[in-house]
Structure 1
């Protein structure tokens, strides 16, 4: 049950109270397709290109902008036999993205005064290795030292048979720790089996029931499915595996119990996007709980783990993000939330051990976050003009106008014009030098072409002394 982390920067037997969607839920229609046709086409082209390049059968995508779900779409085939087009209401397994729901359950119990996430694990599971030295916060942040029971990207023979959380803890929770608690970060699914067991002991009810009552129902996540206990329905996506460059084949199903609390959930991209909105709005938990939820845990040597409670935390081009990916047999997912930008990207795919979900998320990020600053808008205007061999010389200094002689204009037009209209631009750097303001930009294209870099120098009076376009180094 591996996580697939992006370079910057989403993957159910139903409980008696959880109705399974057989058709597109009516409430999904009202909140989607609010993008302009041009922007929707950019998203479609980028997603379809990644599927074509990777051979992954399908992807389901949900986009959040300005705190609202504005677009959902399915690409490719959710099932190969019989051929079934992917639809946005279909469920996909989300794998390790499930972990943040388990973490939220423990924060809810802390709010109720039933535990503290700084309690030692020994208070609840005293038989585990060094349980008196490991805290709940450590297991939620993967800094405990408990060894991972499933680092592989395939289902091993023992995992095809049913198991229990207690069996996992008896085998992996009682091994010597891989490192002293709090001294290192190392991803481990075992941590979340421990977390799920604590939720059940403290709440007095099954984990899925607790999640349904306290998270899914309040957030109107109506189509969540516990894929740990039962396979997805025929109306949902099917998971696939590919051996080397061979054909796609139905992926084997894990035995019941192996994904408990660490990767058990399946849902449509729409439902995961609703969870993302609750994270950016901080609408479900108390403010202090969200502060702890999103705060990267520090190691004992003072370095950051860059991981909070079930979520990676970082920043991309000035945009803080919360990110996690997930993988279980047949499925890989990617979920990136930009809280300050009120944006999120959910990508669910149905082939194990494939980078397609994260590749789609990377391709969509500049499209979704596109909201150019004045400097970005000016650089984009100049760039698109140069694609046609045109410039407004009043914007440039005499020296820069000399740089853009007839030969330069022809070369810019001939080399850039064939690339088509850019999708977006992002400023990636700014500094002072030589009495001028230096800026660096990245220009992105909707069909997945490699981005280009623009470097500029601007005089205090606003005149542009340099405007140079170059390839982005592949390093």
Structure 2
């Protein structure tokens, strides 16, 4: 069986030859559906959820309540049609979590986790599932930041070198000696954001993607491509000798108390999971991650807003139990200044991207977005964290993107 051409990129961000442009930012894209064959279904062998996770460290008291009303208004506005988009809401539901100086500024849910049926028709009110603060969302490309942290932990241990050829760690890169690990982290490898995905098994499909040649000379510009983190995830798993789902659970979720974070969530969690495209629920939305068995370096994680905020707090606090302060500083420093402001990217994170960070951008804010409607922004100057999880792809990814909501929420917190 050969699968059709799939778009591996989830953000239309391009900057080659020194020119950078944000084209649509996690907006709609064409996607060839995967055939519903058993080999494409998420693997049932994930044992990561059995790894014990302790209680998270408490937030400071008392909470900072003055931001709550503004954030609720900013996020809630897009639950209904707007003059810019009168046909339908921007998303059916959302959960927001904000913290300032270690104190919770807001944590609330709005709308529905499940609002539409497989036919895209609205469900009767009694059949809908309201969003709750503990609703779990498909994080999509926010997964990349977790993969970056795992990679940087290997750098700290001397197992991985940022400026070494990726081919040193990945046999499938033998014909791409010019691509370094740092280039994968900064999306400057020249690898394509559009790659045919073919093969009979998850391992075969992964091998096929890894062997794809770059479309531009390595180091010549910024081209956001899922391929970079598919490769980085493969490197991390190879060096650690363990699957990414196990590594994320043991090395990130467990020490931070992120009990609701992991790949391939078990069926018992299904009632808490927000739907994505159509009626898809509990299985990864990203087609390439699904084809790899549900676990990949670029997409596949599920989590709650409060869990993602714990991850953000560790990075804001200099790495916490995850990384050394100097490593976090390197991670959030713009490595792509020569390619223009739209290409500003550290090691696995965006830097000062006002198109979704709003007024939090401009002084070293860093974060990431996800195609399903997720985002995190960390602003060291304000000591602020903003997590917005939506299922804007439910019921149709082509209905639009939620960048206006991301920006509005960031502006509310900045104000």
Q: Please tell me the TM-score bracket, short chain as reference.
A: 0.7 to 0.9
The structure having more radius of gyration, on CA atoms, is: 1
Q: Which residue of 2 aligns with 1:103?
A: 148
After superposition, give the CA deviation of every residue in 1:198-247 in whole Å (9 maximum; x if it has no partner): 11111111112122222111111111021489896122211134xxxxxx
Secondary structure of the residue aligned to 1:185 is strand
- Conserved 8 A contact 2:134-2:272: no
Query: Is residue 218 of structure 1 aligned with residue 259 of structure 2?
Result: no
- Conserved 8 A contact 2:263-2:295: no
Query: Is residue 146 of structure 1 aligned with residue 154 of structure 2?
Result: no
Query: Is residue 115 of structure 1 aligned with residue 151 of structure 2?
Result: no
Shift of residue 302 of structure 1?
A: 7.3
Secondary structure of the residue aligned to 1:178 is coil
Q: Which residue of 2 aligns with 1:339?
A: 380
CA distance in 2, matches of 1:104, 1:268: 19
Secondary structure of the residue aligned to 1:105 is helix
Q: Which residue of 1 aligns with 2:50?
A: 17
Query: Is residue 314 of structure 1 aligned with residue 352 of structure 2?
Result: yes
Counting strand residues as a fraction of each chain, which structure ranks higher? 1
Q: Which residue of 2 aligns with 1:405?
A: none
Query: Is residue 128 of structure 1 aligned with residue 173 of structure 2?
Result: yes
Output the aligned Cα RMSD. 3.5
CA distance in 2, matches of 1:188, 1:129: 19
Q: Which residue of 2 aligns with 1:326?
A: 370
- Conserved 8 A contact 2:165-2:181: yes
Q: Which residue of 1 aligns with 2:206?
A: 168
CA distance in 2, matches of 1:66, 1:235: 29
Shift of residue 2 of structure 1?
A: 0.8
- Conserved 8 A contact 1:133-1:181: yes
Q: Which residue of 2 aligns with 1:195?
A: 232
Structure 2 vs 1, CA of residues 310 and 124 (structure 1 numbering), >3 Å: closer, same or farther? same
Q: Which residue of 2 aligns with 1:271?
A: 307
Q: Which residue of 1 aligns with 2:33?
A: none
Q: Which residue of 1 aligns with 2:69?
A: 41
- Conserved 8 A contact 1:93-1:227: no
TM-score with structure 1 setting the length: 0.64
After superposition, give the CA deviation of every residue in 1:236-295 in whole Å (9 maximum; x if it has no partner): 211134xxxxxxx55895435266110111100011111111111112311331132112
Query: Is residue 50 of structure 1 aligned with residue 86 of structure 2?
Result: no
CA distance in 2, matches of 1:205, 1:26: 25
Structure 2 vs 1, CA of residues 220 and 228 (structure 1 numbering), >3 Å: closer, same or farther? closer
- Conserved 8 A contact 1:293-1:309: yes
Query: What aligned pairs does 1:381-460 form with structure 2 within 5 A after superposition?
Result: none
After superposition, give the CA deviation of every residue in 1:129-157 in whole Å (9 maximum; x if it has no partner): 6432111111111111122256xxxxx9x
Of 82, 89, 94, the match for 1:59: 94
Moved more, 267-276 or 39-48: 39-48
Moved more, 182-191 or 305-314: 305-314
- Conserved 8 A contact 1:33-1:72: no
After superposition, give the CA deviation of every residue in 1:367-403 in whole Å (9 maximum; x if it has no partner): 2123xxxxxxxxxxxxxxxxxxxxxxxxxxxxxxxxx
Q: How many residues align?
A: 344
CA distance in 2, matches of 1:121, 1:30: 39
Q: Which residue of 2 aligns with 1:296?
A: 334
Q: List runs of 5+ in structure 2 lacking aligned partners.
A: 1-8, 14-21, 27-41, 82-87, 116-122, 354-358
Secondary structure of the residue aligned to 2:223 is coil
After superposition, give the CA deviation of every residue in 1:174-211 in whole Å (9 maximum; x if it has no partner): 23311000001111111111111111111111112122
Structure 2 vs 1, CA of residues 142 and 39 (structure 1 numbering), >3 Å: closer, same or farther? closer
CA distance in 2, matches of 1:250, 1:204: 32
Shift of residue 303 of structure 1?
A: 6.0
Of 119, 130, 137, the match for 1:85: 130
Q: List runs of 5+ in structure 1 lacking aligned partners.
A: 151-155, 242-248, 371-475
